[in-house]
Structure 1
């Protein structure tokens, strides 16, 4: 029998795999002291001193001898009575533990550390640290303070620090963070460990957290020791500062890769009249002067608009900010939009726009979400989207550096909502609209303020004439009275002008008289400004609506999205689609909704009025039919796009009314158009006791969101859905949602976060006894480990996935598991095994109609054939896969197939065709933000360049692949890049000088 002893953690021993009962603590302490001696004898005085200190009993020697006798009995069960002990012989005045060093974990730990001293790779250190099961002698308090035990703890911490350094060098920043976090948790004042943590966080792209870590340890050193950071920690901080300046380059490359210049301004307001002085003031405040048009000019003169600050200097050093403030309905958005269209030629690098919905109590846009939108508009692939709001803001400022961009921030509620969205470059201009004056922007950021009042008398009459025609010109007195009733607010004037048209041929005076009478009988809707109470105008227009259109208007106030289509309104009201379209037409004609193409939106002031009317009518809350409609239609779209995965999605409720007739050709367009509404409705649902909707929608939409790179929306949806599942509580759903979050983190190369979510999902699945959910979590852990190059662990988990899926009859799960195992075998170089698994996966996918799954299996079979030197066979497999992918939404699959074909072209000498295919693959990967694919194509381009003797280009491509793979922790492509660079170095040494 083989005797094994563990002391790194609770003290344990085994004969082969059978545990040994080591006896009471004092007996185990004797054995522990012999282990700590490292094979050297320990005298009785030393044993007695450690166990009893300065006050040993008279029987101390006899007690120790008894302990040794009993230890010999359990450690050597087959020893003959009275024979010499081979394991615990008496030597000198004490005892000697004789066990091979590799059978005692602490001795093996030290041997592995010594053998790893000259090996820079992390694997030997990982093997040593895997022996660590907790604090040494965790169950023996008498030994935890022993000097030799403290030394072991210090060795462990040093080994962790070495592992962190090795992992960083290997490009595995996520694992390096975990190692350094363990080091610094044990000793927060360990400057070397903190320096390593700062470097690891920076390498993982978590620069804001790296800065925060440095500042925290700097403060701790000052508070507790009264010293400044030493050389190593200071050096890490300087590297962080330098890297922060360089970090934007990959994003700049992606942004410049054929992306259109953002042009996001909303449509100009038709019939815009007046505001010439305010437009001129905005020109002055933003450092330019746009040409006026005939439509902007007014008759008469008025004093200039009220502004703060003098005109800026011609070459400002800070970003110019103009705040247009004023009451609701005064025309802030219309003014800012009109000015922006006039001035757009000043901003050739684009115009960014977001409605911050600052006065919507339920759905204000967070700075984090707004930054994600802007970064996507600037061309940042979804996979490169930073998780932290500060990191997003830093990247946003970097991307706008030296660019001439206009940023229009509409409906801001506070300075905190605006501040992260401010560029840092003086070449940019920011225009903010708000009901608040935002003094913090003026004081802290030097903003200039334009206080927008109601229209001047002449402007109000001019707008009425423009909208209502000659009937206004023919009765000046009635026109002036109508303008007064509307408080000279543009929104109210537009509504009133439409009413005048609809009451024809009644005189303008009779219409005004009716409005005055109605004003006296109705309460007013306060906008917060006494002279701007325009509820009477709204109510006058509302009461003129047919009953059905009036009900549609009220219910629209409850919809959480920014705009809707006719089908959603039909679900909201329960009307047939043709009736809903008719009602929307009436509302648009009355200016109670704004139409943009086939979608309809509502001013936030009108939305508040509509919601108040609905509440008074007993129509409180969003009707259940709306989330049912959205969920059912989303599920239908997903079934059309991914039919083989239908069984993996939850069964959703069926609408009471007719369902939207989607087709495969329109499914993706519907999801894209409604994505914002789907997420907004889920957020609303969690806040209004409709948790089921958020939970099911997240599970339905995962594949669409992650394959399309919509990571911000996906994480928002899943975090709210997880909150809902935990509130219910529904542990099974919570486990599935954590798996989904893990998948999203893997897609964004956040491997540490992915591991945490997936491990928690495994625990939840065990709690509820759901084997299938547990296996899905294990399968995704296997996928995670494959990306990290941990192939043995990946294969173990994926093997369990296949076994359980096969046993339970889950053929789709079995096919996916086999395909993933095939990829692992391919990475390990086990080509025959990989081919066997991938063919099995392809066969199952073919049987169950999973065309996309079959195409991926064919793609990886092509890699097997190519690696075996059978290039023609590989090309045929790639072509078959490409044909399938081209007819689906799998952009990544299409790009991977093109990369495979390009690689074969290089080997066959078809260099021009290879360049075309690889260039197309790279563009596709950049478009969807698939950084792993970008690294792969960069390596393929390096091989292509090397094959034609362009060694400098080849080196640049491989270095690009090495950087990307290192940033995301993709060990396989990192290794390919290193091999490519090594070949180039060898080729360079054999070249003769010119």
Structure 2
């Protein structure tokens, strides 16, 4: 046997699987165990490279900087700045794609949206996407920016990868996104970013192409000999394009579509447009707009109309279904025409699916054409169609994730029927549930959905702001999208108040206040719940008012006002069942038991928790019934009823682990550790505390009151020489929750069927 000095190991038969060490073994042995998890493949997110001309000096300078940083053992950081359309992204892509053989750890890409109508991308959300791309499960992405950045840099410390941060707004936006180790990061921005020099960055500013280089690019775009046949005209044309690669490619694409047309006609047309396009100038790019106008005039009527309507879209990207909602059966052919004319960028390779976006200058031009060429009725109808497209599809996703939810009424009576809206595709892929697929779609489209919320009043349909916010409710707590949770409810409440919709105001207050509690702003959450309570009372909604009793109690409890919390929970526990909401009444009684446990009133806690569990089980709420059983078990530990405590805690732990409820499972483990302490089993208690702490960490709740208490009790049990917290638990923790596999803990603890 292992550990005995004179033991003899004899083995006969066949061994399958693991190595076995024992004194004597006879017969065949089969040992099974969990399969090793598959390693997450490296992410390859960079968009494809495009042709560049006359940028050898820039590429050489980038390589010199990389070699110097590598020799010094530092990460490589380079910033490429310049005018819109000058080719910053093209240069960065050419450089980074060439590095792929030496950087097998992958490629990360993020559009930081400095020019986006909805504002620059939030670094915390970008880091979260990077973490998921690097294999971090959704449920284990930390909730705060600092924790996300720390994990991101830990994961990249020993990994050779490249990162492209495209269209950055400021150096401050970039800094949290810089990887560690010997990674290479390229940043593009329309602004010079000398601040990145403080971070070891090398800043390169791109100027427009020289006339010769622009002519070369035009020749490559046409590839038909016209440039060689008309060199002077070609030179005049690229000068009118201001040396911007974007403008040269657009002019070249238009000429390529007309093989019999001479370059002279394009030069003449651009020259004639210069005065008329003066008002459209941004950063002095007059001739770019002339080229865009010419491309627009050459479009088929259906494509020109779709171009104008898409210019009204408030987000950065869109898919084919939105185009179908705007232009019906002509959408696909019109999109192809826009793409062929270089007026749309196909981002399918970056994001998957059929998706497009405008270059920033093109988007502004499309919006201007909509204002000039389209009628007011056409613009109004298009805006309503865009808003209702996202509302209708978000409602479909909501019903998949949470069927039968008590939602606010959806109003499609403003000229757009739901049947006129093209359906987005969020069918599950292999290994995915329908709910996961719907949540993925909501999260992927969230920038567009939030843009619609912000622009609802300008669209002429302010009610979309609160209706869409309400439809997004299943997403916010499950994916912990706190910034959007708060912003959308703020805008939804404002529009509901302006329109005088009392029911919508109450929903925005209660759902928004739950977001405040989730982010630790308990005082503001309480104030919002109290406003909702007044509104419910004024409207004569007794059930809505009774639900706010429970919500207000939660806010008081988190503010440490246990007496006030207990009084509100007791009132809710009496009122809600009388008004027909048995489940919410049981949750209020559970919360009452939780306060009693915190105050050491173990008998009261046990009685209320058990009564709550019986009602919740009858209501089919297995999650909250398990929470109640866990609370009963912890109360029994305090009462010294150790056998009952063990039975309750064990049953609760099994149920909570099956539902991937990490935080509540950790609380039960803490109760089991205290039970072991009462039984004089310090070693087992230490193991359980460590397991609980590991679980608190995995769900981002390491700073919670429960986690701090568990750490303190573990410290008191540790021998003096081992008081430091270990890096890993002695026992295997439960598996992390799968993303989107059911209600989040915030959702399941709300206290009512609807907010």
Change (3 A) 1:859 1:957: closer
Change (3 A) 1:530 1:962: closer
Change (3 A) 1:961 1:567: closer
Deviation at 1:604, TM superposition (A): 0.4
What is the alpha-carbon distance in structure 1 between the residues aligned to residue 147 and residue 651 of structure 2? 43
Change (3 A) 1:977 1:535: closer
Change (3 A) 1:839 1:977: farther
**1:719 match: secondary structure:** helix
**2:545 match: secondary structure:** helix
Change (3 A) 1:264 1:782: farther
Query: Which of 618, 623, 626 lines up with 2:383 in the alignment?
Result: 623
Corresponding position of 1:708: 479
What is the alpha-carbon distance in structure 2 between the residues aligned to residue 753 and residue 893 of structure 1? 34
Contact (CA 8 Å) 1:557, 1:611: kept in 2 or not?
yes
Query: Which of 311, 331, 334 lines up with 2:90 in the alignment?
Result: 334
**1:624 match: secondary structure:** helix
Contact (CA 8 Å) 1:939, 1:976: kept in 2 or not?
no
What is the alpha-carbon distance in structure 1 between the residues aligned to residue 184 and residue 539 of structure 2? 55
Query: Which of 167, 173, 186 lines up with 1:431 in the alignment?
Result: 186
What is the alpha-carbon distance in structure 1 between the residues aligned to residue 578 and residue 686 of structure 2? 54
**1:533 match: secondary structure:** helix
What is the alpha-carbon distance in structure 2 between the residues aligned to residue 711 and residue 754 of structure 1? 14
Deviation at 1:515, TM superposition (A): 1.6
Change (3 A) 1:771 1:527: same
Corresponding position of 1:315: 72
Change (3 A) 1:372 1:951: same
What pairs with 1:121-200 in structure 2 (closer than 5 Å)? none
Deviation at 1:591, TM superposition (A): 1.6
Query: Which of 311, 317, 332 lines up with 1:557 in the alignment?
Result: 311
Query: Which of 362, 371, 384 lines up with 1:606 in the alignment?
Result: 362
1:658 aligns with 2:420: yes
Corresponding position of 2:110: 354
What is the alpha-carbon distance in structure 2 between the residues aligned to residue 518 and residue 718 of structure 1? 50
Change (3 A) 1:746 1:259: farther
Change (3 A) 1:933 1:721: farther
**2:79 match: secondary structure:** strand
Corresponding position of 2:401: 641
Summarize deviations over 1:259-312 as a string: whole Å, max 9, x none: 96984754123445552222112223x433xxxxxxxxxxxxxxxxxxxxxx77
Deviation at 1:331, TM superposition (A): 1.1
Corresponding position of 2:61: 281
Summarize deviations over 1:739-773 as a string: whole Å, max 9, x none: 32332233344545544443454455456654444
Corresponding position of 2:144: 386
Deviation at 1:589, TM superposition (A): 1.9
Q: Report which of the two structures shows the higher radius of gyration computed on alpha carbons.
A: 1
Contact (CA 8 Å) 2:123, 2:177: kept in 1 or not?
no
Deviation at 1:688, TM superposition (A): 6.2
Contact (CA 8 Å) 1:838, 1:860: kept in 2 or not?
yes
Corresponding position of 1:230: none
Corresponding position of 2:295: 541
Corresponding position of 1:857: 625
**2:66 match: secondary structure:** coil
Corresponding position of 2:735: none
**1:702 match: secondary structure:** coil
Deviation at 1:570, TM superposition (A): 2.7
Change (3 A) 1:422 1:625: closer
Summarize deviations over 1:16-70 as a string: whole Å, max 9, x none: xxxxxxxxxxxxxxxxxxxxxxxxxxxxxxxxxxxxxxxxxxxxxxxxxxxxxxx
Corresponding position of 1:894: 659
What pairs with 1:206-355 in structure 2 (closer than 5 Å)? 263=43, 265-272=45-52, 274-284=54-64, 286-288=65-67, 314-315=71-72, 321-343=77-99, 352-355=108-111
Corresponding position of 1:841: 616
RMSD over aligned CA atoms reads 4.7
Summarize deviations over 1:651-686 as a string: whole Å, max 9, x none: 343642434557746533331321221112212335
Corresponding position of 2:330: 579
Corresponding position of 1:374: 127
**1:287 match: secondary structure:** helix
Change (3 A) 1:832 1:954: closer
What is the alpha-carbon distance in structure 1 between the residues aligned to residue 566 and residue 455 of structure 2? 42
Contact (CA 8 Å) 2:653, 2:665: kept in 1 or not?
no
Summarize deviations over 1:801-839 as a string: whole Å, max 9, x none: 354444444566456556656777888564454333223
Change (3 A) 1:274 1:747: same
What is the alpha-carbon distance in structure 2 between the residues aligned to residue 464 and residue 406 of structure 1? 31
1:455 aligns with 2:209: yes
What is the alpha-carbon distance in structure 1 between the residues aligned to residue 690 and residue 652 of structure 2? 30
Structure number with higher relative contact order (C-alpha < 8 Å, ≥ 6 residues apart): 2
What is the alpha-carbon distance in structure 2 between the residues aligned to residue 527 and residue 430 of structure 1? 32
TM-score when normalising by structure 1: 0.55
What is the alpha-carbon distance in structure 2 between the residues aligned to residue 815 and residue 791 of structure 1? 19
What is the alpha-carbon distance in structure 2 between the residues aligned to residue 875 and residue 939 of structure 1? 10
Query: Which of 447, 450, 471 lines up with 1:676 in the alignment?
Result: 447
Contact (CA 8 Å) 2:653, 2:668: kept in 1 or not?
no
Corresponding position of 2:32: none
What is the alpha-carbon distance in structure 2 between the residues aligned to residue 683 and residue 459 of structure 1? 43
Change (3 A) 1:263 1:758: farther
Contact (CA 8 Å) 2:443, 2:475: kept in 1 or not?
no
TM-score when normalising by structure 2: 0.71
Contact (CA 8 Å) 2:230, 2:263: kept in 1 or not?
no
Change (3 A) 1:383 1:690: farther
The number of equivalent residue pairs is 642
Change (3 A) 1:777 1:660: farther
Deviation at 1:878, TM superposition (A): 7.5
Deviation at 1:438, TM superposition (A): 4.2
Contact (CA 8 Å) 1:495, 1:537: kept in 2 or not?
yes
Change (3 A) 1:985 1:520: closer
Change (3 A) 1:348 1:826: farther
Corresponding position of 1:696: 467
Change (3 A) 1:795 1:313: closer
Deviation at 1:609, TM superposition (A): 0.6
Q: Which piece of structure 1 moves more, 701-710 or 794-803?
A: 794-803
Deviation at 1:800, TM superposition (A): 3.2
**1:518 match: secondary structure:** helix
**1:449 match: secondary structure:** strand
Deviation at 1:355, TM superposition (A): 2.6
What is the alpha-carbon distance in structure 1 between the residues aligned to residue 567 and residue 315 of structure 2? 45
**2:473 match: secondary structure:** helix
What is the alpha-carbon distance in structure 1 between the residues aligned to residue 196 and residue 541 of structure 2? 54
Change (3 A) 1:414 1:345: same
Change (3 A) 1:724 1:421: farther
Contact (CA 8 Å) 1:354, 1:410: kept in 2 or not?
yes
What is the alpha-carbon distance in structure 2 between the residues aligned to residue 316 and residue 742 of structure 1? 48
